[in-house]
Amino acid sequence: MERFLTGDHISQEFNSELGGLRRQLLAMGGMVEQQISDALKALRDGDSALAEKLDASDQEINRIEIALDEAGSHILARRQPAASDLRLILAILKASTDLERAGDEASKIGRLFLLMPVQDRDPANFHELIRLGEAARGLLHGALDAFARVDANAAVSILREDYRIDRDYESFIRQSITYMMEDPRTIRRVFSCISIGRSMERIGDHAKNLCEYVVYLASGKDVRHVRLDEIEELVGPRAG
């Protein structure tokens, strides 16, 4: 059929397919953000029912990942995407994996919370963790926003913030080890908190990966494994 369509018609269809793929990814991102918010709310309110729901929504996110990948490879197979269109599809395929794994970490937070004895689920124990988690959620939100606008400058700012979260996470770990040593009765609880903190740090890492794809989309340069100052140079001075 398609070969009989005019070039314009084909390109219109193609654009609408690409737009659909992009929207699907951003919708998936929204779900993952919600998933993280719910995990944080479960900690903050000691809400076990909410924590239990996380696994179900994780499965929904998994389904979307598969559907997105299928749609993406379908477009690759039927169209012959050129430079920036091809980049967009490849970036979406990679981004969907990161979003899915960020969602996984959110449900893992729920599971770790539910594995803690009820008396340990006191929201007072999660103060520092919630701060870490909010920062990670903020990064992911910013990364999705930068992706939606293909804004390399915004992406670079988020990469810079991720370094800060990593530092905060490390100081959280050091502090936790000190707690355990000072009061060995806290070992089990603090260890659970460390595991939750690690999931949050990993969410930040996935947000960082998304930002690298944004720079790739905007500049065509693959900046994974490139130092932040070099990326900043590549992207150029921040406007405004």
Q: Which amino acid is at 207?
A: A
For 7, 29, 71, 150, 201, the CA distances from 207, given in Å and listed in that order, are 37, 10, 23, 14, 10
Residue 239 Cβ, how far from a copy of itself at the closest point, in Å?
28
Can residue 175 be called a binding residue for a copy of itself (CB under 8 A)? Answer: no
How many Å apart are CA 100 and CA 105, to the nearest integer? 9
Among 177, 230, 233, 238, binds a copy of itself (CB under 8 A): 177
How many Å apart are CA 197 and CA 179, to the nearest integer? 15
Q: Which amino acid is at 70?
A: E
Residue 58: CA atoms inside 13 Å, Cβ hemisphere, count? Answer: 20
Q: Which amino acid is at 146?
A: A
Nearer to a copy of itself, 86 or 130 (CB): 86
Among 94, 111, 131, 160, binds a copy of itself (CB under 8 A): 94
Residue 139 Cβ, how far from a copy of itself at the closest point, in Å?
19
Stretch that binds a copy of itself, among 20-28, 93-101, 133-141, 162-170 (CB under 8 A): 93-101
Nearer to a copy of itself, 46 or 81 (CB): 81
**Among 18, 92, 23, 31, CA closest to 61:** 31
Binding mask 48-67 for a copy of itself (x = CB under 8 A): -----------x--xx-xx-
Token code pair at residue 134: 């909010």
Q: How many helices (H) and strands (E) does the chain have?
A: 7, 0
SS3 122: coil
Residue 29 Cβ, how far from a copy of itself at the closest point, in Å?
18
Nearer to a copy of itself, 83 or 124 (CB): 83
Stretch that binds a copy of itself, among 21-29, 89-97, 147-155, 162-170 (CB under 8 A): 89-97
Residues at the contact surface with a copy of itself, assessed by CB under 8 A: 59, 62-63, 65-66, 69-70, 73, 76-77, 80-83, 86-87, 90, 93-94, 97, 177, 180-181, 184, 187-188, 191, 222, 224-225
